[in-house]
Chain A
């Protein structure tokens, strides 16, 4: 199936699925002019596009391959809304995304990944992103999981940034159970390009979280910031490996790993810094511990009880 950017709507025969999918993310309609694509399992339920945005979805046996192109010079004023998910309790969804942001184009994608009833669901995302010279791409991924934690999420993303390109991503999984999450992101930065990647997650129960983010600063004066903020409670576990390698003059990078432990949660945080050019500069910070006592005492002194105060501090950190 191919859908051109002509503003027409391709409505699939799955109204109920579509409604359930959108209900789970608290979304019921989109304003006119907002591009949006909804994918359930291996079916493209609907896609509404705008000029300059080309989306070519292809249904596979266990998922969907999608080619996305934002044409040169296009500036998408409104974020493009994606919804990937599965309503049933069991299943596999494999999404392959090939995203190309052409020269001097600018786009923001908001991706909601929803598995509200998951008991035994596996969601695999393989993404390949190219941001051409002078282009800007923002990708925000928000996960909505149910209370059972029966979901395995395996997102793998490779990003290439050309001269002066900017890329910003965030992965947020802060409500419901994380289940098992294994994130692997890598960005290669060209001359004067900028990459920011942030992961925010709240692990509960016996959730298992693994994050590996890598930025390779090959371009002169390129910059990267990798941030992972994880909160763990109950018996949840997390391992964070965030890595920046700087190989060019003027390259700048910073790695920030913060993990809050509550209950019996356990965490490992390993910031890795490699600098192969004396004119580059990369810094890191890593902290694992309980909720900051001064923050907690401040909110307690305003009359909040400890549970509510802790929740407020954690939710702030995960934003």
Chain B
């Protein structure tokens, strides 16, 4: 196990120059009349595990949701290219059919909808074998889970793993995972990290949205966001000092404003 402050070293199997598969160009996004993302430009390389990190409110989820095309986010300028072609005006399902998908920080509950039906919803091969493999990859037994509903009887961690199973069954080219460690216990997290490794081995491009050091350590490359701006990019090792208490090179100050306290009294 690497110690705190060091990235996990994966056997890199990339030959030659990284090839960009997704490109975000000078993206500005507004929601509710406020600009949440300012001129974000970044390239996502095919087959790599990327991380987008930053404090709460940095714009990490906004960026992922904007790339996925979720409603409520207004792209005021800039573009999003998939394989060099703009997807900015495509609806969600068309982006998904081109190989892009998203795992939510808190997966939805579906009253009455069976686990098997949910997992196979986006699978090209709607077979029993696909279901079994996907559940096995997230450490859930098909006999125990296939006939259950994706509802409140499942814990948050179980829903998180079942959502990941649905992504594994879909076999997309690019997966954005919003806070994969949110609300899961150590055991569930182990399976989620193994599933990320499984995606890596399949050649799937993974984008981890996180503010967790333990998740960041599994990335090959990371982007640091703060206050809606991209302020640093590089290897996980380069970004890790941010988690060591040194909020560099951003001027973000995460302490109470003494002047504000004085003004109140």
Question: A residues near B, CB below 8 A?
Answer: 229, 258, 292-295, 297-306, 309, 312-313, 315-319
Contact = CB atoms under 8 A, between A and B. Distances in A.
A294 B33 CA distance: 22
B117 A312 contact: yes
B112 A303 contact: no
Given A300-B96, A302-B170, A294 B108 contact: yes
Given A258-B111, A300-B91, A316-B149, 5 more contacts: A229-B112, A298-B107, A302-B122, A304-B93, A313-B110
A10 B51 CA distance: 72
A258 B111 CA distance: 11
A303 B108 contact: no
Contacts of B108: 292, 294-295, 297-298
B12 to A, nearest CB: 29
Contact of A301 (B71, B102, B110): B102
B92 A297 contact: yes
Interface string B107-122: 1111111100100011
Interface in B162-211: 163, 166-167, 170
B73 to A, nearest CB: 12
A306 B93 CA distance: 8
Interface in B195-234: none
B110 A302 contact: no
A269 to B, nearest CB: 16
A315 B117 CA distance: 11
A313 B113 contact: yes
A297 B96 contact: no
Contacts of A318: 112
Contacts of B104: 294, 298
Contacts of B117: 312, 316
Given A297-B70, A298-B107, A305 B93 contact: yes
13 contacts: A297-B92, A297-B108, A298-B107, A300-B92, A301-B102, A303-B97, A309-B93, A312-B113, A312-B121, A313-B110, A313-B113, A316-B110, A317-B112
Contacts of B101: 301-303
Interface residues of B, number: 28
Contacts of A295: 108-110
Contacts of A302: 96, 101, 121-122, 166-167, 170
B223 to A, nearest CB: 21
B37 interface: no
Given A293-B71, A294-B104, A301 B112 contact: no
A319 B148 CA distance: 13
Given A295-B108, A316-B110, A318-B112, A304 B71 contact: no
Contacts of B122: 299, 301-304
Contacts of A293: 71
Residue of B93, B101, B107 with most chain A CB atoms under a 10 A cut-off? B93
A306 B69 CA distance: 14
B27 interface: no
B93 A316 contact: no
Nearest to B106: A294
Contacts of B68: 301
Going nearest first, the 7 A-B pairs with the smallest beta carbon separation are: A302-B122, A316-B113, A316-B112, A319-B112, A300-B92, A303-B96, A294-B108
B172 to A, nearest CB: 9
Interface string B99-140: 001101001111111100100011000000000000000000
A297 B68 CA distance: 10
Contacts of B110: 295, 313, 316
A62 to B, nearest CB: 37
A229 B93 CA distance: 27
B11 to A, nearest CB: 30
A270 to B, nearest CB: 21
Contacts of A300: 91-93, 96
A300 B108 CA distance: 13
Contacts of A317: 111-112
A297 B178 CA distance: 14
A171 to B, nearest CB: 15
Contact of B170 (A303, A306, A309): A303
Contacts of B163: 298
A318 to B, nearest CB: 7
A319 B147 CA distance: 13
Nearest to B99: A303
Nearest to A200: B112
Nearest to B91: A300
Contacts of B107: 298
Contacts of A298: 104, 107-108, 163
Contacts of A316: 110-114, 117, 149
Contacts of B114: 316
Contacts of A312: 113, 117, 121
A298 to B, nearest CB: 5
A268 B170 CA distance: 39
Nearest to B100: A301
Nearest to B92: A300
Interface in B41-70: 68, 70
B70 to A, nearest CB: 6
